[in-house]
């Protein structure tokens, strides 16, 4: 396994093509807007080195028998699935941000089981290819961007019916030694901090969409791969000289990118689906299940930090003893632990796949994510309520440091005795960061759209909910005999 320092150095050695604010970035590793998100990924390596976290952060590979980072692991039991959620909560607590390796881990498990079943039906060799690829990932402890979401264009049209054929990533040429692909993947979490991009189709497909049924892996610096860094609220604060207090979470963050594939060549050994359109839906459904489980861990960990920050804000405001403040903190805790319970439940109810790895209970995973489209918003609302309006009207750090007006801020923004004005400002900026600022991409807004929109989960809940089976239960209890009276 890599250390934190080795991970950072490995990114320096890559020739990534990243655009940010209209300019090509010379060195993404040290760019002040990107650095906090890289620190979050680095934490997944750092904690794996600590003895007290090793049980959660590492696992024994079923492919090599070696100890590996859990983010590179194929789940071998429900215990593995539970540990995954606990690991994600821990990292959320340590970073208060998105740590970005979950998508790759979820893609590994979905592609592993799906390629096994493609081979069984079509006589292909995708499963062996993917197994060899995953051994490579495990041996080198790589961070992998699991990439599913296409730009989609007109949502009312299928991939092959779009006015621009590239609005879904597609195969444009098949060669004896591989394929050439063109298109883009949008909203890609941690793309700039990843060694590899692992691509999957984004929807179930029909025969006319076969060119879009493709899964493969390429290095992040492969020829033709271009990444455009996504904007976040308050992101340019990181560019301000000496910025500290105003950042809220100065050390950690997350990011998303639009990843372009301009006629990228993929060798045969890195192709895991090539026009097997009948399995696109299976891969999507399985990945979505794993990734919706993930949110029952990572968002809960960030929620823990937000609840703690809200309680501190109440302390600093002198309002901690108010009954309504206590009740709001109880409600935030109740909502947060409900999300965690869903993540643990879908993990404990998991089952073995034909390929041998374990999958979550898909119904409960979708219930987990459906709750996450709602409850973090209420947790954030309550946090903003407790923090007070100063959270969004507070003067800048530059004003606070000013010799002319700083003393006024020190005097008039003080809270309870014994707590400095600076510390009060720091906790309010942290709440702002998680609920409104750069960390919101890894908490509030991502809770809505990450791993699929709310409606996507409702479709799966309808599919998995077994309404007909529940009707039979009711008929039996009510002693209904449909042969009588029609």
Catalytic residue check, 298:
yes
pLDDT tens digit at each of 486 positions of the chain: 999 999 999 999 999 999 999 999 999 999 999 999 999 999 999 999 999 999 999 999 999 999 999 999 999 999 999 999 999 999 999 999 999 999 999 999 999 999 999 999 999 999 999 999 999 999 999 999 999 999 999 999 999 999 999 999 999 999 999 999 999 999 999 999 999 999 999 999 999 999 999 999 999 999 999 999 999 999 999 999 999 999 999 999 999 999 999 999 999 999 999 999 999 999 999 999 999 999 999 999 999 999 999 999 999 999 999 999 999 999 999 999 999 999 999 999 999 999 999 999 999 999 999 999 999 999 999 999 999 999 999 999 999 999 999 999 999 999 999 999 999 999 999 999 999 988 777 898 889 999 999 999 999 999 999 999 999 999 999 999 987 665
Task: Indicate the pairing of strand 225-229 with strand 18-20.
Answer: parallel
Q: 């207090």: which residue's tokens?
A: 245
For residue 221, the model assigns a pLDDT of: 98
Catalytic residue from among 72, 298, 342, 368:
298
First to last CA, the chain: 67
Catalytic residue check, 102:
yes
Q: Residue 169 is encoded by which pair of tokens?
A: 């990533």
Q: Residue 239 is encoded by which pair of tokens?
A: 């560019």
**CB 61, CB 273: distance < 8 Å:** no
Q: Residue 473 is encoded by which pair of tokens?
A: 């239960």
* Helix (H) or strand (E) segment spanning residue 189: strand 178-189
Which of 79-96 are b and which e, b meaning 16 or more Cβ less than 10 Å from the residue's Cβ? ebbbbbbbbbbbbbbbbb
Catalytic residue from among 58, 277, 291, 340:
291
Catalytic residue from among 102, 274, 342, 368:
102
Cα separation, 333 vs 263, whole angstroms: 49
For residue 93, the model assigns a pLDDT of: 98
Cα separation, 436 vs 442, whole angstroms: 11
Q: Residue 461 is encoded by which pair of tokens?
A: 């809940």
For residue 441, the model assigns a pLDDT of: 79
pTM over 0.85: yes
**CB 59, CB 48: distance < 8 Å:** no
**CB 135, CB 335: distance < 8 Å:** no
Cα separation, 238 vs 5, whole angstroms: 22
Catalytic residue check, 256:
yes
Catalytic residue from among 7, 295, 316, 358:
295
**CB 395, CB 319: distance < 8 Å:** no
Residue of 366, 272, 371, 287 lying closest to 103 (CA atoms): 287
For residue 484, the model assigns a pLDDT of: 66
Which domains can be identified in the chain, with CATH numbers? 283-470 (1.20.140.10)
Catalytic residue from among 112, 116, 195, 256:
256
Cα separation, 154 vs 140, whole angstroms: 40
Catalytic residue check, 189:
yes
Catalytic residue check, 346:
no
Catalytic residue from among 98, 274, 346, 368:
98
Catalytic residue from among 95, 115, 143, 189:
189
Catalytic residue check, 7:
no
């Amino acid at each position: 396994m890599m250390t934190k320092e080795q991970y950072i150095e490995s990114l320096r050695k890559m020739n990534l093509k990243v655009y940010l604010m209209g300019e090509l970035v010379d060195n993404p590793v040290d760019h002040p807007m990107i650095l906090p998100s890289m620190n979050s990924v680095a934490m997944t390596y750092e904690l794996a080195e600590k003895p007290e976290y090793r049980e959660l952060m590492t696992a024994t590979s079923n492919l090599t028998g070696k100890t590996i980072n859990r983010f590179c692991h194929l789940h071998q039991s429900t215990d593995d699935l539970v540990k995954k959620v606990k690991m994600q909560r821990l990292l959320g607590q340590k970073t208060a941000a998105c740590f970005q390796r979950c998508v790759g881990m979820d893609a590994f498990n979905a592609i592993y089981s799906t390629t096994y079943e493609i081979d069984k039906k079509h006589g292909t060799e995708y499963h062996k290819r993917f197994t060899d690829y995953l051994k490579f990932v495990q041996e080198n402890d790589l961070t992998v961007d699991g990439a599913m979401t296409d730009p989609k264009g007109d949502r009312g049209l299928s991939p092959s019916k779009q006015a621009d054929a590239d609005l879904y990533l597609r195969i444009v040429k098949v060669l004896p030694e591989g394929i050439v692909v063109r298109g883009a993947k949008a909203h890609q979490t941690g793309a700039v901090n990843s060694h590899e991009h692992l691509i999957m189709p984004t929807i179930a497909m029909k025969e006319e969409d076969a060119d879009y049924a493709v899964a493969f892996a390429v290095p992040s610096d492969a020829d033709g791969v271009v990444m455009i860094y996504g904007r976040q609220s308050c992101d340019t604060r990181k560019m301000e000289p000496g910025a500290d207090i105003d950042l809220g979470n100065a050390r950690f963050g997350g990011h998303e990118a639009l990843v372009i594939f301009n006629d990228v060549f993929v060798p045969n050994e890195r192709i895991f689906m090539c026009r097997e359109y009948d399995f696109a839906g299976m891969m999507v459904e399985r990945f979505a299940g794993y990734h919706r489980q993930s949110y029952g861990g990572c968002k809960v960990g960030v929620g823990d930090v937000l609840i703690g920050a809200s309680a501190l804000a109440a302390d600093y405001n002198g309002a901690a003893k108010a009954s309504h403040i206590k009740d709001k903190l109880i409600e935030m805790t109740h909502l947060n632990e409900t999300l965690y319970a869903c993540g643990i439940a879908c993990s404990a109810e998991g089952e073995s796949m034909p390929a041998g790895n374990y999958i979550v209970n898909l119904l409960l995973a979708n219930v987990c994510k459906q709750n996450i489209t709602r409850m973090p918003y209420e947790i954030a609302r309550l946090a903003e309520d407790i923090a007070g309006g100063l959270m969004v009207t507070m003067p800048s750090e530059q004003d606070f440091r000013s010799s002319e007006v700083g003393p006024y801020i020190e005097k008039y923004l003080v809270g309870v005795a014994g707590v400095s004005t600076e510390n009060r400002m720091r906790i309010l900026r942290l709440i702002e960061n998680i609920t409104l600022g750069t960390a919101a991409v890894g908490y509030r807004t991502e809770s809505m759209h990450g791993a699929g929109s709310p409606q996507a989960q409702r479709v799966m809940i309808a599919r998995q909910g077994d309404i007909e089976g529940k009707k039979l239960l009711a008929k039996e209890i009510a002693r209904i005999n449909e042969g009588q009276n029609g």
